[in-house]
Each structure stands twice: as C-alpha cells, then as structure tokens.
Chains A and B, each alone.
Chain A
Amino acid sequence: MKRDILKVAGKSLKSRLIVGTGKYKNFSETAKAVKESGADMVTVAVRRVNILDKKKPLLTDYLNPKKIIYLPNTAGCFNSEEAVRTLRLAREMGGWKLVKLEVLGDKKTLYPNMLETIKSTKVLVKEGFKVMVYCTDDLILAKKLEDNGASAIMPLASPIGSGLGLQNKINISLIIKQSKVPVIIDAGIGTASDATIAMELGCDGVLINSAIANAKKPILMARAFKNAVISGRDSFLAGRMQKNYFASPSSPITGLI
C-alpha cells in the first residue's frame, strides 16, 4: 500500500495524530504516552523557568526535540502582542519556525478570539513563521486565515478540554472542502471514536491532549487514538458505501433452496 504522509508546512508526518504534552501526571508518563501514540509532532507551551527549584525536571530531558517535532503554542495568550512575543521566544529557543497559534477570547470557554488570531497570523507569516492556527469552525474566517498565509487550519471540535467531541460536522466538512492547506481538528475530542469520525469526514489530522492525558489509562488511550486515526483515515480514503433506506441482502438470492 502507498504510504500516506501528512505534509504540513514542508514537514512530512507519518502519523496524522498530533498530541499535546499537558495535563500528564509527570514527564515520564508524557513520554510513554507520546511514544505509544506514534505521533511525530507534539505541542508544547512556553513558560517561565521555575528559578526557585533548580532540580525540577525539564520536558526536553524526556522528549528529545531532535527526535520529535516540537510545535510551540501560545496557550494562555489573550491578544496578538502576547502571542507573537511568546512565539518569538520559542523560535529563539530552538530555531522553531513551525508554531501553533492560539489567541483566546474568553477565559471560561477558551474560545478563540479570531480578530486577534488573524492579526497575529499576518505578523507571524511576515516574520517567516509557519503558522498552524487554532480557530473557530467559521468557514469565512478559516478562509481568511488561509488567505493570510496560515500553514494549517485547526478548528475546534468543541471547547478545549471539554471532551464533547465533534459538534458541528457540517462546518468542519465545509472548511475541509474549501481549504488547500491541511485541516486539523484541534480541541474538544473526547474519545477515540471522535477522532475516527473527524478523519472519516476528511480531516488531515487531529490534535489530542486531554482525551489521552485525562483517560484512566493514558498510555492505553494513546494507542487507542493511534488506531482510531489510522482507521478513520483508511475509511475516508476507501470511501464509504452509499446509505440506502431499504435492506440489501449480503448473501445472493440465486441458488436459494
């Protein structure tokens, strides 16, 4: 079978599952879950070093950025200035130009502020960043992001960390149909079957954090997602049968005794 590679911003990913590294019990569990998920790319956050605890372990000691693609995010940023500042620091840290932009608009729902998101996308693209953008499932705004140079459109399935799954399949399908850059579902996926549904719709990938990290057995759930994404993608490529209102026997009628 032909290898099915996800190309995003010049990078080739073997896995269509991208995983977040937050909310785990410890870095050891993070590393195990990432390994089991088979993901080539992980999202990471940029934060102040805890200077009071010199011995605190670092994420980079557990997940080698030379072996797995780090996708720095702007989680917690509520305006363009904060988001751009964060990503400039991320770029300085390791030369990362591929970044995940998320500019939030509301503390309770963590819904994206699309005005600030578009503004930031413009600035970052101009500075040479490759920007994967967390966004609402509004197709006009998704198009606007693409027109402004976004490397991937990443609409939410439902609010971040909610686990509510895909709430607006129609909009996601419309975004997929119109987009020339990869469409990756970011946020809201609750369980493995949600990821399969997203992939069957034709999404290019899914980004999962809470659904794995908050599972009772995160490492097992990481494997479940790996398989779910492969299944959904294969199912999409294979093309589902047509739906019929009436039954159609699977066993032939001819030769019936």
Chain B
Amino acid sequence: MAKIQLNGKKISIKSNFSLKDLLKKYNLFYKNVAIEHNGTIVPKINFKKKYLKNGDKVEVVHFIGGG
C-alpha cells in the first residue's frame, strides 16, 4: 500500500502501481490526458514504467470547455 495525492485528494494505491495502472483505475487510460508527477511532466510512453511511491503528488489533467 502507498498513499499518494491525486489531483489534490489523498488516495491509497497498491504497491508497485504504475501511472498506467492509476489511469486504468479511473477509466482514463485511453483518454486524452496529461500527467504531472511530482511537478514533472511524464511523457505518455513512460506511463507504464513510472511507478508510484508513498507521498507522490500526481496531477492528471484534460481538456474542458473554455474561452
């Protein structure tokens, strides 16, 4: 188990959980999103190999309506 902060909310995840696993958990894997992991943007190709650890901060963003 690890505790991380996802989009400002504290959540618990299993150990050895990758960004890809995280996206899958929230039905976002095939969606158009971008991820910032501890303040650094992670390219899509690295989602699979980027593992999360206790205390990590993850931001998942997408496009919404705007002017």
Chain A residues near B (Cβ < 8 Å): 20-24, 27, 30, 43-49, 51-52, 54-55, 58-60, 65, 70, 72-73, 75, 85, 88-90, 92-94, 160-161, 187, 207, 209-210
Contact = CB atoms under 8 A, between A and B. Distances in A.
B57 to A, nearest CB: 12
B38 interface: no
Most buried by B among A49, A85, A94, A160: A49
A72 B63 contact: yes
A164 to B, nearest CB: 15
Contact of A46 (B27, B43, B61): B61
A207 B67 CA distance: 8
B60 A49 contact: yes
Interface string B40-67: 0101100000000000000111111111
Interface residues of B, number: 26
Contacts of B59: 48
B62 A51 contact: no
A89 B66 CA distance: 16
A49 B61 contact: yes
Interface string B3-47: 000111101000000000000001110011111100001011000
Contacts of B60: 48-49, 51
A160 B67 contact: yes
B63 A51 contact: no
Nearest to B39: A85
A73 B67 CA distance: 8
A59 B61 CA distance: 12
B67 A75 contact: yes
A1 to B, nearest CB: 32
Given A49-B26, A49-B28, A49-B60, A22 B41 contact: no
Given A65-B32, A92-B43, A93-B34, A54 B63 contact: no
